[in-house]
């Protein structure tokens, strides 16, 4: 039963968690007398397929500034490239998670800007780790960490917006090189009767394939698998969402088994959830309606916290299978691979809408009309990412299997209202593509701007469908009250991030609604709020590189205050990330 797996978390190394100090001694970290000796690490290395890692911060090659130890020019040119960062074991997608803020306000970091004249230090980057290439590597590393009571962190190819894929003085498990993939025309889960066969396009994918690998693999199979989309990377063993879900479902792959609920695309922060007909539901809607990723996964392989390798599905260790589909990456173990149902390709139209506001009253009226349309678009199978500020509003819609004419007809009331309200300060285009892959290449292919490398922290809430439907004016008012934009480019793409301060983005149909709401909320470990939600709303804070502790703590306080405002709007709901700080 599930309790048997939960009991594993009481081991000295609880993946992604920590036993209360009153019940368990503190984890051993680098610099403590208990830290393993070189000889003990050598004994571990003998069990591994790869040499031990010695992770360093991203900017380390630029130091010392008088005679850099590495290729600083490459680091400077690629600092905001998520793929570049994903290939570096000590690099986080967001630079603030490489730094460490001591209680006394001292900051330990390694900054790209060498003119700050601050030495390059290790920060929060673990000093040693294991390059996981196969199950035996994970087992050896987990057993070693448990025996030595080390603070263990799992880092994959992707990001974690609460910094839980790193830990100062910790012991790192890096799953970046788990990139196997396989295709099956028919699949029988382990332990299932032979009559229980899933037919169609079934893919078994290791946990750290990035989106490009998956896209190309699926292109050859004319198939889609549901996952995150972003011009950065992400994958399965994330610990940032342990109270919500690490598999929450969007379309296609960031990582093979990444964040399956919401993700951010490019510097535009565009996220969509395009839902499609599933053969198991006999749905007949005219538009594609995908379920969440957790509803499409068929089987996992995972190394548990006690070092045991387990294959879990609906027929074999079903309680663990239930928990993994929503229980949080890294909570129960290190997931090595997932097998899941894919779906046919489809053409799509991607309307882009941008509106400039000259007064609060105009902003309120246009934003209200947008949110009023929200549920209708969701019911029609559309996805969208919309963000609202007092100065402007922008949205990217994804309309699967919808023609340009049909898309224009559906959006005409909103576009006309915005045009009349603003005196024509509207930019509206309706590109169409033969497939999702075609759109992805055009939007996120070579030359796309990066969105990583900065200092960002996020809080979020799930927006209930009924609230958006019944009280669009209130949703618009809250959005505008939180949005602060001080810089933007009125072009799509690219749309630049605001330069500072809190801002809020409301997804139009990006995480739920449609078929997602019709799934039994008890069928997976996913937070049930996802089944009642129509959108995720989130706020962020950022600060400049080299900022002092006063600036950083003030930004975090504003983030908390903004979250309090969201809580007044999204009562009795959930959040995208587990907000407990590590």
Higher pLDDT, 204 or 101: 101
Q: For 245-276, what is the HEC assignment?
A: CCCCCCCCCCECCCCCCCCCECCCCECCCCCC
pLDDT attached to residue 346: 84
In degrees, rounded to 5, the angle at the alpha carbon of residue 418 between the alpha carbons of residues 417 and 422 is 120
Which stretch of DSSP H or E encloses residue 72?
helix 72-78
Using DSSP, state whether 502 is helix, strand or coil: coil
- 426 and 530 part of one domain: yes
- 577 assigned to some structural domain: no
- pLDDT for 180: 80
Sorting pLDDT into bands at 50, 70 and 90, what band is 544? very high
Most confident of 300-304, 391-395, 444-448: 300-304
Of the three residues 344, 361, 376, the one that is the final residue of a domain is 344
Provide the pLDDT for residue 459: 83
Q: How far apart are CA 246 and CA 323, in angstroms?
A: 10
Same domain, 413 and 531: yes
pLDDT for the residue 238: 37
Write out pLDDT tens, residues 153-201.
Answer: 999 887 788 888 999 999 999 999 998 877 777 888 899 898 887 766 5
**Does residue 581 form part of some domain?**
no
Looking at per-residue confidence, does 135 or 13 come out higher? 135
Any bridge partners for residue 205, and if so which?
181, 338
Evaluate if residue 554 carries a pLDDT over 60: yes
CATH value at residue 482? 3.40.462.20
**Percentage of residues of the chain with pLDDT beyond 70:** 72
Return the pLDDT at 249: 24
| Mean residue pLDDT across the chain | 77
Choose one of 174, 209, 225: the last residue of a domain.
174
Given this model, what pLDDT does residue 378 score?
83
C-alpha dihedral (567, 568, 571, 575), degrees to nearest 10: -20
CATH number of the CATH domain containing 189: 3.30.465.10
pLDDT > 50? residue 315: yes
Residues 265-283 have a mean pLDDT of: 28
Q: Same structural domain for residues 317 and 416?
A: no
Q: What is the pLDDT of residues 445-456, one digit of tens each?
A: 766 667 789 998
Looking up residue 63, the CATH number of its domain turns out to be 3.30.43.10
Q: Which region among 7-16, 384-393, 501-510, 523-532 has the lowest average model confidence (pLDDT)?
A: 7-16
Cα angle, residue 435 at apex, residues 439 and 432 outer, rounded to 5° = 60
pLDDT band at 290 (very low <50, low <70, confident <90, very high): low
- Which pLDDT score is estimated for 437? 81
Task: Indicate the range of 509-513, 564-568, 578-582 predicted with least confidence.
Answer: 509-513
567 confidence band (pLDDT: 50, 70, 90): confident
Query: For residue 573, what pLDDT band results from cuts at 50, 70 and 90?
Result: confident
- pLDDT category at 470 given cuts 50, 70, 90 is very high
- Domain identity same for 361 and 329: no
Structure tokens at 242: 């342990």
Q: Is residue 580 part of a domain?
A: no
Same domain, 418 and 448: yes
CA 35 to each of CA 57, 142, 171, 358, 400: distance values in angstroms, whole numbers, following the listed order: 21, 15, 10, 60, 54
- Calculate mean pLDDT across residues 558-574: 85
Quote the percentage of the chain above a pLDDT of 90: 43
Distance CA 474, CA 379 (A): 21
The domain of 132 spans 2-174
Task: Tell whether 266 and 279 lie within a shared domain.
Answer: yes
Q: Is residue 328 domain-shared with residue 263, that is, in the same domain?
A: yes
Confidence band of 264 (pLDDT split at 50, 70, 90): very low
Instruction: Tell me if 240 sits within 8 A of 577, measured CB to CB.
Output: yes
* CA–CA distance, 569 with 355 (Å, rounded to integer): 24
Q: Which residues pair with 505 in a beta bridge?
A: 387, 538
Q: Using alpha carbons only, give the angle 82, 264, 481 rounded to the nearest 5 degrees.
A: 130
> Is position 274 within any domain?
yes
Mean pLDDT of 101-119: 97
Does residue 574 form part of some domain? Answer: no
Q: Which bin fits 450, alpha (ψ -120 to 50), beta or left (φ > 0)? A: beta
91 and 144, same domain (yes or no):
yes
Average pLDDT over residues 336-349: 84
Mean of the pLDDT values across residues 527-545?
A: 86
Across 28-57, b (16+ Cβ under 10 Å) vs e yields: bbbeeeebbeeeebeebeeebeeeebebbb
SS3 (DSSP) at 223: strand
Kindly state the average pLDDT of the residues 429-435: 94
pLDDT tier, 441 (very low <50, low <70, confident <90, very high otherwise):
confident
Q: Are 251 and 224 in contact (CB under 8 A)?
A: yes
Cβ-Cβ contacts under 8 Å for 366 (sequence gap 6 or more):
355, 357, 393, 417, 418, 421, 422
**Residue 10 contacts by C-beta under 8 Å, 6 or more apart in sequence?**
19, 24
What pLDDT score does 551 carry?
96
More confident residue, 144 or 240: 144
Instruction: Write the pLDDT tens digit of every residue in 22-71.
Output: 455 799 999 999 999 999 999 999 999 999 999 999 999 999 999 999 99
Q: So what's the pLDDT on residue 172?
A: 97
Q: How many domains does the chain have?
A: 3
pLDDT at position 168 is 97
Q: Tokens 């960490």 label which residue?
A: 145
Asked if residue 581 has pLDDT above 90, the reply is no
Query: Do residues 259 and 381 both lie within one domain?
Result: no
- Tell me which of 470 and 446 has the higher pLDDT: 470
Residues 112 and 132 in one domain: yes
In the chain, how long is the greatest CA-to-CA distance?
74
CB atoms within 10 A of CB 498: 18
Q: Do 375 and 494 fall within a single domain?
A: yes
Residue 403 in any domain: the answer is yes
As a whole number of angstroms, the distance between CA 335 and CA 47 comes to 20
Q: Among 174, 206, 226, give the residue marking a domain's end.
A: 174
440 and 532 part of one domain: yes
């Amino acid at each position: 039963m599930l309790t048997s797996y939960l009991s594993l978390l009481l081991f000295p190394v609880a993946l992604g968690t920590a036993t209360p100090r009153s019940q368990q001694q503190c984890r051993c970290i680098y610099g403590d007398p208990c830290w393993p000796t070189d000889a003990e690490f050598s004994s571990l290395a003998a069990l591994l397929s790869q040499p031990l890692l010695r992770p360093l911060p991203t900017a380390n090659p630029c130091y010392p500034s008088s005679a850099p130890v590495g290729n600083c020019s490459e680091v400077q040119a690629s600092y905001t490239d998520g793929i570049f960062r994903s290939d570096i074991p000590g690099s986080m997608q967001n630079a603030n998670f490489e730094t460490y803020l001591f209680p006394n306000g001292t900051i330990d970091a390694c900054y790209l800007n060498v003119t700050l004249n601050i030495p390059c230090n290790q920060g929060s980057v673990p000093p040693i780790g294991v390059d996981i290439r196969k199950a035996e590597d994970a087992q050896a590393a987990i057993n070693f960490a448990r025996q030595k009571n080390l603070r263990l962190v799992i880092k994959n190819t992707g990001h974690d917006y609460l910094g839980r894929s790193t830990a100062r003085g910790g012991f790192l498990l890096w799953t970046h090189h788990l990139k196997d993939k396989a295709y099956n025309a028919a699949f029988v889960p382990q332990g299932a009767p032979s009559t229980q066969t899933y037919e169609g396009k079934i893919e078994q994918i290791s946990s750290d394939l990035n989106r490009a690998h998956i896209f190309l693999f699926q292109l050859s199979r004319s198939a889609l698998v549901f996952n995150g989309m972003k011009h950065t990377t992400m994958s399965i063993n994330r610990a940032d969402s342990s109270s919500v879900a690490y598999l929450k479902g969007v379309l296609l792959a960031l990582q093979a088994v990444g964040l399956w609920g919401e993700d951010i695309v490019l510097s535009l922060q565009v996220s969509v959830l395009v839902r499609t007909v599933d053969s198991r539901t006999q749905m007949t809607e005219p538009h594609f309606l995908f379920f969440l990723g957790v509803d499409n996964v068929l089987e996992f392989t995972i190394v548990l916290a006690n070092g045991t390798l387990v294959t879990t599905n609906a027929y074999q260790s079903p309680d663990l299978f239930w928990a993994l589909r929503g229980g949080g990456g890294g909570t129960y173990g290190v997931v090595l691979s997932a097998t899941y149902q894919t779906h046919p390709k489809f053409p799509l139209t991607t309307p882009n809408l941008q509106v400039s506001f000259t007064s609060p009253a105009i902003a309120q009226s246009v934003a209200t009309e947008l949110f009023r349309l929200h549920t209708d678009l969701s019911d029609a199978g559309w996805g969208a990412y919309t963000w609202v500020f007092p100065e402007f509003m922008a949205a990217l819609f994804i309309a699967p299997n919808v023609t340009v004419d049909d898309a224009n007809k559906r959006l005409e009331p909103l576009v006309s209202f915005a045009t009349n309200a603003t005196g024509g300060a509207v930019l509206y285009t309706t590109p169409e593509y033969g497939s999702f892959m075609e759109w992805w290449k055009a939007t996120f292919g070579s030359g796309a701007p990066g969105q990583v490398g900065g200092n960002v922290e996020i809080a979020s809430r799930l927006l209930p469908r009924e609230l958006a439907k019944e009280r669009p004016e209130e949703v618009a008012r809250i959005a505008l009250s939180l949005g602060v934009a001080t810089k933007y480019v009125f072009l799509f793409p690219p749309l630049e991030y605001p330069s500072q301060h809190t801002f809020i983005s409301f997804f139009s149909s990006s995480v739920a609604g449609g078929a997602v709401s019709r799934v039994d909320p008890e069928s997976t470990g996913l937070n049930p709020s996802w089944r009642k939600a129509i959108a995720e709303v989130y706020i962020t804070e950022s600060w400049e590189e080299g900022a002092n502790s006063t600036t950083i703590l003030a930004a975090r306080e504003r983030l908390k205050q903004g979250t309090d405002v969201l809580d007044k709007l999204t009562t009795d709901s959930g959040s995208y990330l587990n907000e407990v700080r590590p």
